[in-house]
Structure 1
Amino acid sequence: MSEAKKKLRVTQVRSLIGTKREHRACVRGLGLRHVNHTVEVEDTPAVRGMIRRVSYLVKCEG
């Protein structure tokens, strides 16, 4: 039986207007499209790094 993957709920809380191109790319890579949009993503080191980079734009719940 395979183990269930841990998920993180990520919500975009600030607009992308005026942010760096790399930060906008990270938010889009997480699957977020607009303010108050919430997605569930797998808890991997790559995703955690993306969340850390744009922590001022998103809210993360374990």
Structure 2
Amino acid sequence: MEALCVSCDGPLKIPGDSYQGEIVSCPGCATELEIQSVDPLELALAPEPEEDWGE
């Protein structure tokens, strides 16, 4: 599958066995993207990991 990065509009090759919720990285700008849907393919910026603060 192919898509465009939502950050830099660069081309991405998404493996056919990818799944909803998977995080992929753009080879052009290194932005982490989350697969929102696989059919149709939809990408969004991946959520930032939250601080744990030892809780």
TM-score, normalised to structure 1's length?
A: 0.27
Between structure 1 and structure 2, the one with the greater Rg is 2
Counting strand residues as a fraction of each chain, which structure ranks higher? 2
Larger RCO, structure (CA 8 Å, separation 6 or more): 1
TM-score, length-normalised on structure 2? 0.29
User: Which structure's residues are more often helix, by fraction?
Assistant: 1
